[in-house]
Amino acid sequence: MNVLYHNDVTLRERVAECLQDDFKHKAIETAQEVFYAKRGALVEEMGEGWQELRLRATEIRNHVTENLDYYVKLFAENAEANGYIMHYAPTDQDALADVIDIFEKHQAQTTVKSKSMMTEEVGLNEVLEEAGYTVVETDCAECILQKAESKPSHIVVPALHFDRDAICDIFTEKCGYEGTSVPEELTHFLRRYLRPEFLNADIGIRGCNFAVAATGSPTLITNEGNGRMVDSVPKVQIIFVGIDRIVPDLQSLDVMEALVPRSAVGSKMTAYFSVDSGPAHADEVDGPVEAHIILMDNGRSRILKTEFEPMFRCMRCGACLNICPVYRHITGHGYGSIYPGPMGVVMTPNLVGYDEIDTMVFACSLCGACSDHCPATIPLHDLIRAHRIEIVDEGKNHSNEVPVFKLLRKMWSDVGFYKFAMSAGGPMMRLFADSSKGALTVNSTWMPVVKGWTSTRDFDVLSKDRFRTWFKNHKPLAAETPVQENQGTEGGDA
Amino acid sequence: MKIAFFPGCMVDMIYPEIGIAAVNVLERLGCDLEYPDEQVCCGQGLLNSGYRDFNYPVAKMVIDAYDRPEYDLFVSLTGSCMNAIINDYPIIFKDDPVYLERTKKLAERSYEFTDFIVNYLGKTDLGASFHDTVTYHKSCHVTRLLGIKEPPLKLLEAVDGLQYIEMEHADRCCGFGGTFSFKQPEIAGEMVYEKCQTIIDTGANVLVGADVPCLLNIKGGLSRMRSDGRLDRDIRVMHIAQILDARE
Amino acid sequence: MAVGNKTLQDLLGPISKQMGHTAVAENVELPEWEHVPWRCTDGMNQQQLVDKFIEEAGKIGITIVRTPAADIAKAVAGIIQEGVPEAPASCTVVAANDERFAAAGLYDTVSGLGNVSELTVWDNTKGQANVDAAEKATYGITYAVGGIADTATIVQPSGPNCGRTTSLLPLVHIALVDAATIKPIMQDVMKDIEAQGGQLPSSICFISGPSATADIELVRVQGVHGPMYIYYVLVD
């Protein structure tokens, strides 16, 4: 089974299930509203600076991507000079093999993890658990999901689909919790419950938000402090770094940090931002004695020099999810990928190919809100459409839809045929229409193709007369005011 | 000055009254309009579904019909068609330098309907009167992809008797998305119902838009909600051209 | 050191190939960036930066105490005496080993407080005992090397005299920060670090407020795995 994309059920089945789950659906809607409002206030406060900041981030990330092999090498060499033990993973299997080697070498038994999408991508937890190791997720939401054996519905707040009572039940059943369902009490319970796990773990596993090439420094953004705990307490540490996480220098981090928390959750800064440069020095008493970096490609480099290359700018902030009107309704579970929402729709097929992903790239109305909100100005909706074009070009589209598109091509490129189709189609549609509404209604859900629409909305029928006929025969109105050319400014105002 | 007018295929097929209103508005403003008969549709439904090559003959026809020396300007009544022609045709013509160049030239003299009136003609008060409560759907293509935010609102503001009520998340997608609304009807349905609810919540009697496809979708959503009891009053769905043409 | 099943070359090969490179470049210069974003701290003088720092701190649940350098012991003692609701009647304290603390008599003052049963001053010769003390401590006291006005952030490096856990494990973090070290934005701090050169600390933590989460129904809760409360003692 593919761990990145779960193709055990179809997209349609998943979507149906998500749409039925009213609580989940409402929880994501609320999250969107909250993040959207908070982000909006901060963006407004920055005025023109916001757009400049996005463009600077775009410049920085593009520069790295255009010189990616150089920067990957620079980061690797400088990280190694800092004392990191480097592991190079062209594929997920390479990464997993190296992690297992580290566990075996240390005869480790338990590991504490802070949230890392890369470890999700390779299915690390499952592999470690199968090998007999105990994996403890320490992010509040990830911990809830792990105890409930559930999957993230959001990449920033992954357990929104459970309400406080459900979480209370989970903690009571799985962790011996005896308190109420007040979020503060539940959270403070987790503080006490997980503290010994951090102190006793053999290995800490974490991700990396940005990797600084010039100084060989992986960085970590965290609010709860679990990332810092993983980074500070266990004596052995494993850091997953994607080749798409690199920034050139420390100063670049300022731009990224100004964008990510604002875009992700609508705050100016997270509680913690750690810039690490190697294991603990000999004269330090805490921090990892041994620190490993797994530098992983896993299909990322395939998009270099293609139109999908802008995805190398993605900072995994979730801004595109927080604004997406589709994500809003189908939630993270609707997509079937560990990377949901617009960024996921672009990234998932990049990583796993078109054969695996069902109709995922078609679950988008191309509204462009994601591209508008992306802090790295990735034209996400254009890339989603680019996937559709590639799918058709590669002949991986559903063959049963081709006749419909052929008919549309014929009708739109042959005026004679179009006029014929209108004169024949109009009366036919009116025959089946609800005459009081002049529309095909719920009674037309038996009609092929049209049922897609009429299952949820009415469809106005073709008019009796064409606009073009009226236009040809009409007598132009007299001007009320004489026309003066180009009195205003040109073009749109945005 | 001759203006090549592009109403969009839905106007020709389903809503001629929107096209007629727009022609009235532009002619009263002194515009000399032409509507070439040799084309049908911008064809964006094909490209947006991945069928770029199918869109090629359709796009060529549009360029041939509208890129003519006798036309000084191009005005599109529908934002999404305008966006397709100026922003998407370059993708379709990427291997056809002649049509690519013609598209770029056409794009330079292209205007969306409201942008043309406000920013090219410099007019906002067109003498229209419309005595009712109105809310405006800020469609994705006009608002975001073409970046035309102020013109429609300025035009509505100048209409005598019109009482404007802003809806929540006015720029959120209505869920049309071309073939998306046929291929993913469950998602598109949820999206349009939510859009309709924000419209209903304003209490306005009229929903106005500047993108015809959204109007088809929203009208269909409101109509369905009216039938199944989720909506207990009539809400009119109108193109902004119809408001600007109104003398009621 | 590189270990494992694959080499750097195994990773780089496909990347270079996809890019159409025959070899990895020897050196790449950073370009002149075209876009220079406006920031809200642009043009502020030091006094305004300090005011901004205080204003932002107030927004994210940080308590600020201002004091002249000579009175830092008194300021810290005041915080501990006042206490927090979750603090036990008799609590322990862990503090960084800092000359300025010693010079101001902070260690003596704190250990003499009625509600303090034990003070551990970070001592790297005692190894794990420091971390054990931090784990039990109600209060952790550190001296930050700088501050950032835009986000009310303090800059806290790890080192032999102050561990990563000093500011992480206790229930309450009391951070001293010199008003003169407050910079407009993170970029200014990074510039200074780059200018200093040499071996970087193994960890530099940029701290902006108490540890917090909103994972349960988006309700903000302070005090997850790091401190539940944070005090900045702003030293003039």
Residue A2: per-residue pLDDT: 58
The verdict on residue C24 lying in a domain is no
| B48 within a domain of the structure (yes/no) | yes
Instruction: Note whether residue A409 is domain-resident.
Output: no
Interchain contact A354–B (C-beta under 8 A): no
ipTM of the complex: 0.96
Provide the domain limits for residue C161: 43-235
Q: Are residues B162 and B238 in the same domain?
A: yes
**Could you give the CA distance from residue A88 to residue A74 in angstroms, rounded to a whole number?**
14
- The structural domain count of chain C equals 1
Is B141 within a domain?
Answer: yes
- CATH code at B204? 3.40.50
Contacts (Cβ under 8 Å, ≥6 apart) of A146: A125, A135, A136, A137
**A402 near C CB under 8 A:** no
Average pLDDT over residues C121-140: 97
Contacts of A281 in chain C (CB under 8 A): 159-160, 199, 201-202
More confident residue, C197 or A459: A459
Are B6 and B51 in a shared domain?
yes
What's the total number of domains in chain A?
A: 3
Q: Quick check: is A182 in a domain?
A: no
Q: Are B10 and B111 in a shared domain?
A: yes
Q: Say yes or no: A234 and A288 in one domain.
A: yes
Whether residue B96 is contained in a domain is answered as yes
C-alpha A29/C-alpha A22 separation (Å) is: 10
- Structural domain contains residue A484: no
In a domain, A101, yes or no: yes
Q: How far apart are CA B56 and CA C50, in angstroms?
A: 61
- What is the pLDDT at residue A489? 47
Using CA atoms, how far residue C205 sits from A258, A274, B193, B194, C158, in Å, is 16, 4, 47, 44, 8
| Positive or negative torsion for Cα B24, B29, B30, B31 | negative
The answer for A 110-129 residues in CB contact with B (under 8 A) is none
Same domain, residue pair A420 and A454: yes
Q: Is B166 helix (H, G, I), strand (E, B) or coil?
A: coil
CB of A439 less than 8 A from some CB of B: yes
> Can you give the residue range of the structural domain that contains B100?
2-120
Are B46 and B111 members of one domain?
A: yes
Contacts C60 to A, Cβ<8 Å:
267-269
Same domain, B48 and B150: no
- Say if residue A293 is in the same domain as residue A264: yes
CB atoms inside a 10 Å sphere around CB C50: 19
User: Is the minimum CB–CB distance between A225 and chain C shorter than 8 Å?
Assistant: yes
Pairing of strands A85-89, A236-242: unpaired
Distance CA(C204)–CA(A78), nearest Å, equals 17
C210–A94 C-beta distance less than 8 A: no
3-state secondary structure chain A: CCCCECCCCCHHHHHHHHHHCHHHHHHHHHHHHHHHHHHHHHHHHHCHHHHHHHHHHHHHHHHHHHCHHHHHHHHHHHHHHCCCEEEEECCHHHHHHHHHHHHHHCCCCEEEECCCHHHHHHCHHHHHHHCCCEEEECCHHHHHHHHHCCCCCCCCCCCCCCCHHHHHHHHHHHHCCCCCCCHHHHHHHHHHHHHHHHHHCCEEEECCCCEECCCCEEEEEECCCHHHHHHHCCCEEEEEEECCCEECCHHHHHHHHHHHHHHHHCCCCCCEEEEECCCCCCCCCCCCCEEEEEEECCCHHHHCCCCCHHHHHCCCCCHHHHHCCCHHHHHHHHHCECCCHHHHHHHHHHHHCHHHCCCHHHCCCCCCHHHHHCCCCCCHHHHHHHHHHHHHHCCCCCHHHHHHHHHHHHHHHCHHHHHHHHHHHHHHHHHHCECCCCEECHHHCCCCCHHHHHCCCCEECCCCCCHHHHHHHCCCCCCCCCCCCCCCCCCCCC
pLDDT tens digit at each of 248 positions of chain B: 899 999 999 999 999 999 999 999 999 999 999 999 999 999 999 999 999 999 999 999 999 999 999 999 999 999 999 999 999 999 999 999 999 999 999 999 999 999 999 999 999 999 999 999 999 999 999 999 999 999 999 999 999 999 999 999 999 999 999 989 998 999 999 999 999 999 999 999 999 999 999 999 999 999 999 999 999 999 999 999 999 999 98
Neighbouring chains of A at 3+ CB pairs within 8 Å? B, C
Helical pair C8-19 and A68-81, crossing angle rounded to 10 deg: 160
Same domain as A104, residue A70: yes
Number of structural domains, chain B? 2
C145: DSSP letter: S
pLDDT at position B117, please?
Answer: 98
CATH of the domain at C96: 3.40.50.10420
Kindly state whether residues B116 and B137 are assigned to the same domain. no
In sequence order, which residues have a C-beta less than 8 Å from that of residue A66 and are 6 or more positions away? Answer: none
Residues B211 and B113 reside in one and the same domain: no
| Rounded (10°) angle between helices A183-200 and A140-148 | 90
Q: Test C37 with A52 for CB contact under 8 angstroms.
A: yes
For an interface test with B, which of A20, A382, A412, A486 has the most B Cβ atoms less than 10 Å from its Cβ? A412
Whether B126 is in a domain gets the answer: no
Do residue B24 and residue B98 come from a single domain?
yes
Query: How high is the pLDDT of residue A26?
Result: 86
A345 and A439 housed in the same domain: no
Residues A363 and A247 in one domain: no
What residues contact residue B57 under an 8 Å CB cut-off, 6+ apart? A409, A413
Shortest CA distance from B150: residue in chain A: A493
The nearest alpha carbon in chain C to A27 belongs to C217
Same domain? For B189 and B144 the reply is yes
Does A256 fall in a domain?
A: yes
The verdict on B36 touching A (C-beta cutoff 8 Å) is: no
Considering the domain boundaries, does residue B199 fall inside one? Answer: yes
| Same-domain check for residues B96 and B41 | yes
Q: Are residues A125 and A245 in the same domain?
A: yes
> What is the rounded CA–CA span in Å between residue C191 and residue C148?
13
What does the pLDDT look like over A104-119, one tens digit per residue?
999 999 999 998 999 9
A442-473 pLDDT per residue, tens: 988 888 888 889 999 999 999 999 999 999 99
Whether the Cβ atoms of residue C221 and residue A184 lie closer than 8 Å to each other: yes
Among C20, C24, C212, whose Cβ lies nearest the Cβ of A70? C24
pLDDT of C2 > 70? The answer is: no
Residue C231 three-state SS: strand
pLDDT of A22 = 84
Q: Where are the beta strands (DSSP E) in B52-124?
A: 73-76, 110-112
Check if A489 contacts B (Cβ < 8 Å): yes
Q: Is C13's pLDDT higher than 90?
A: yes
Is residue A103 domain-shared with residue A210, that is, in the same domain? Answer: yes
Q: Which of B86, B120, B154 is the last residue of a domain?
A: B120
Question: Quick check: A217 contacting C, CB < 8 Å?
Answer: yes
* A407 inside 8 A of chain B by CB: no
Residues B115 and B167 in one domain: no
Has residue A120 been placed in a domain?
yes
The pLDDT, as a whole number, for residue A1 is 40
Residue C4: pLDDT over 80: no
Is A170 contained in some domain? no
C107 within domain boundaries: yes
Per the confidence metrics, is the pTM higher than 0.80?
A: yes
> For C56-65, what is the mean pLDDT?
96
Positions of chain A with pLDDT lower than 70, given as ranges: 1-2, 481-494
**Residue A437: which domain range?**
415-473
In a domain, B21, yes or no: yes
Handedness of CA A172, A176, A178, A179 (dihedral sign): negative
- One domain, residues A215 and A280: yes
* Ordered DSSP codes for C158-191: -BTTB-SGGGTSSSEEEEEEEGGGEESSHHHHHH
Q: Do the domain assignments include residue B190? A: yes
Q: A184, C221: Cβ pair inside 8 Å?
A: yes
Is residue C132 in some structural domain? Answer: yes
Looking at residue A486, what is its pLDDT? 52
Cβ distance A187 to C150 less than 8 Å, yes or no, reads no
